[in-house]
Chains A and B, each alone.
Chain A
């Protein structure tokens, strides 16, 4: 599903954020991505979602070489990658429903289908009763769950999460990881960047560890 081959990402101001990174993920796999702050976790996820392009090396997602993907095809690639952002990236002046519906609206789905799918996704994250609220009126955890609902509403085969439990209490974090496990059980490929090592350790999934832009450790299922 995901394949990195000798990937480098260099920022002119900083130098190499990722260097010589190679790894693969199978379809349906669930993995964690950890590492110190500034290790390059967000950068790696951004390369997969094609928010950025690597300086060198190849990234292949879902059988598609991203380097060869023309600009006008980028939106269609992004529709197949559900992304959950560290800072939620919600529209503050739109309702929860509208926020979650955005990927479907953008993809041109019909009104009725959108309503059905958005409610199913909101039900998944336990926010069905808040669909009329705006994100401002929600707690941090609720906002994060809106972001998750938006990431999965289009039923993408691949979901990327950037510190989805960054500012949540342990109970809520566990709940959200439980949600990810459910997605995993129905065949979605998940890559989750997180600092929450204790939670990572408590779950039987592969963990990729970055240090200074290099792959320091790649634990299989342990």
Chain B
């Protein structure tokens, strides 16, 4: 009921955005709007769930590849401890001779460490591997040569330098042959770098997909609610008021889609944990599969939310023009 007093006063009180400029109230309204939007999305669980699932699956792909490359990197990191060059000595070089040679090589500045595996040690190691017990006992003498494991300084581990060192070692009279162990590792690491860049690219591409999915979903929602929007404009809704729930919906789609992706990848990691550790056991090593860390999760969630927000922002700007008299 418009009472004379209030009808004169209220228009001023409500006409401007003054009241809403108070930061507490402003934040409160945004929170309310965000929660209300989530409630509305949950009201139509099937279409909402489908949109979220599509986003989740799209993002799970690059996330899973990221997990794979990360795990391969950790694995390769373990192999960094391997010697760069294994120098196999001739059969007639005895342990004393091998030790002398090791001492000489230790004096070289480009080598950080020289590790001697004597013929006896090699035999013991070989025995420990199992399965060869019988074959070895048949032999009269130790068939294994002594090996020098060479660890170069970091600066000398570039492929060319390593190659030069390798060639030089081959000319030593005691040397039977030298094997470069890290070249393939370096190649592997280069491939990993490439793969990780591909993951980034794929993530960007599928992020763009998320943007389009959300944009289209929001566009349809705007079209569905056109009458409601029109009526809200008639009774004095600002453009911001009408846009806000759609923007929140976009952000929610992104966030929930990102959560779904994280969930899918985590499930996959848990399921693969056992087979991987069994495989690792076969290779006499231990390899705990790591999933998405907190940082990766943060990146996925904020990224997907951002893509969702941008998608809805684009849709909102294209399809909501605000109160416009003809």
* Interfacial residues, chain A to chain B (CB-CB below 8 A): 49-53, 62, 71-72, 74-80, 83, 85, 89-91, 102-103, 106-109, 120-121, 123-124, 150, 152, 154-157, 183, 186-188
Contact = CB atoms under 8 A, between A and B. Distances in A.
Interface stretch (B231-239, B247-255, B281-289): B231-239
B100 interface: no
13 contacts: A75-B233, A75-B239, A79-B15, A79-B235, A83-B235, A90-B231, A102-B235, A108-B241, A157-B8, A186-B1, A186-B2, A186-B4, A187-B8
Contacts of A89: 231, 234
A71 B234 contact: no
Contacts of A85: 234
A74 B2 contact: no
B293 interface: no
B1 A106 contact: no
B231 A79 contact: no
Nearest to B323: A74
Given A51-B326, A102-B231, A76 B236 contact: yes
Contacts of A106: 232, 235-238, 241
Contacts of A52: 325-326
A72 B241 CA distance: 12
Contacts of A107: 14, 236
B4 A103 contact: no
Contacts of A78: 233-236, 323
B6 interface: yes
A83 B234 CA distance: 8
A156 B236 CA distance: 12
A51 B325 contact: yes
B10 interface: yes
A79 B12 CA distance: 11
Interface string B148-162: 000000000000000
Instruction: Describe B's contact surface by its main secondary structure.
Output: helix
Contact of A53 (B7, B29, B325): B325
Contacts of B15: 76, 79-80
Instruction: Describe A's contact surface by its main secondary structure.
Output: loop
Interface string B196-231: 000000000000000000000000000000011001
Nearest to B3: A186
B323 A71 contact: yes
B19 A155 contact: no
Interface magnitude class on chain B: 20 to 34
B324 interface: yes
Contact of B2 (A51, A103, A109, A188): A188
Contacts, number: 104
B235 A183 contact: no
B303 interface: no
Interface string B179-197: 0000000000000000000
Contacts of A83: 234-235
Given A51-B234, A106-B235, A186-B7, A79 B14 contact: yes
Contacts of B7: 155-157, 186-188
Contacts of B237: 75, 106
Contacts of B24: none
B45 interface: no
B4 A91 contact: no
B11 interface: yes
A166 to B, nearest CB: 18
A154 to B, nearest CB: 7
A128 to B, nearest CB: 12
Nearest to A94: B228
A155 B3 CA distance: 8
B16 interface: yes
A103 B233 CA distance: 9
Contacts of B241: 75, 106, 108
A128 B6 CA distance: 22
B322 interface: yes
B20 interface: yes
Interface in B37-53: none
B227 A91 contact: yes
A188 B233 CA distance: 22
B233 A155 contact: no
A3 to B, nearest CB: 18
Contacts of B324: 71
Nearest to A78: B236
Nearest to A69: B325
Contact of B236 (A62, A75, A186, A187): A75
Contact of B235 (A72, A103, A157): A103
A188 B2 CA distance: 7
